[in-house]
Chains A and B, each alone.
Chain A
Amino acid sequence: MHLEYQVYEADFVNAGSASSAVKKTLKQLNINPKIIKRVVVALYEAEVNAIAHAYGGTITADIEPDRIRMVVADKGPGIPDIDWAMQEGNSTASPEVRDMGFGAGMGLPNIKNNVDKLNVSSTVGVGTTVEMEVMFV
């Protein structure tokens, strides 16, 4: 099953809509609730990142019998130093993002803690792609 969503820059009101839709789909498929939580926590953090730090982007989720693969590809400023961004506490978030309850430098570490596979690639001035995979068993 292939799902695809668009997210838009600074669209905080709808931030989480894509993750919510994926959650509902996984529930309908009777996936273990503990696994669903890991999937949606990671996806939600990545979705918020695309809205908060970039100029929007595309979220795709491919659900297979034994796993879900998710890709959040944003059009944005890119991350100059991914290793720095992966460390808890490091953030470049705006005050507006912090007002939304994010921007404490926990997003990427939270993602890493909840997925089985993670790849973050980024080109400064072009955008960032976060690829995540969670096994169902």
Chain B
Amino acid sequence: MTIKQISELLEANVLCGADRLEEENDMVFASDLMSEVLTIGDHSPILLTGLCNMQTIRTCEMGNLNVIVLVRKKKATEEMIEEAEDEGMVLMECDYSMFKACGLLYNAGMRPIF
């Protein structure tokens, strides 16, 4: 799916990285635990997370993850948006629960990394 299709499916608000919306990605990783995000090896899935702070952005930077969806109505800070923008990431906010967001993406053909 394109990042744009994902944002539409999740009714998400794209905060930065609009220039990457036509890029495709077919994998998702969902976790609130950043150490877990750092264990996924060479993959670069979309991250769904309810963790909303600077470490969310930094962890994705270290792990080469370029698309972050904040679930559960979490709102990014200005600082987070700036950092994500500097790193060329797509950052979006979604009101859905983690379960609903994952379910919608799975039904639409997105796949886990394991």
For residue B64, which residues in chain A have a CB less than 8 angstroms away from its CB? Answer: 33, 37
* 8 A Cβ contacts from B23-52 to A: 32-39, 42, 51
Cβ-defined contact, A106 with B39, below 8 A: yes
Interface size on A, residues (CB 8 A): 24
Tell me whether A124 is interfacial, beta carbon within 8 Å: no
Chain B: number of interface residues, binned into ranges: 20 to 34
Tell me whether B56 is interfacial, beta carbon within 8 Å: yes
For residue B56, which residues in chain A have a CB less than 8 angstroms away from its CB? Answer: 101
* 8 A Cβ contacts from B50-93 to A: 51, 53-56, 58-59, 61-64, 79
| Distance between Cα atoms of A15 and B34 in the complex (Å) | 13
Cβ-defined contact, A104 with B61, below 8 A: no
**Least distance between B93 CB and chain A CB atoms (Å):** 17
* 8 A Cβ contacts from A97-126 to B: 99-102, 104, 106-107, 110, 113
Cβ-defined contact, B35 with A106, below 8 A: yes
For residue B33, which residues in chain A have a CB less than 8 angstroms away from its CB? Answer: 101-102, 104, 106
- Which residue in chain B gives the minimum CB-CB distance to A91? B35
Cβ-defined contact, B36 with A23, below 8 A: no
Per-residue B-contact encoding for A1-44, CB less than 8 Å = 1, 0 else = 00000000000110110011001000000000110010011001
Spell out B's residues near A (CB within 8 Å): 32-39, 42, 51, 53-56, 58-59, 61-64, 79
Spell out A's residues near B (CB within 8 Å): 12-13, 15-16, 19-20, 23, 33-34, 37, 40-41, 44-45, 48, 99-102, 104, 106-107, 110, 113
Cβ-defined contact, A44 with B38, below 8 A: yes
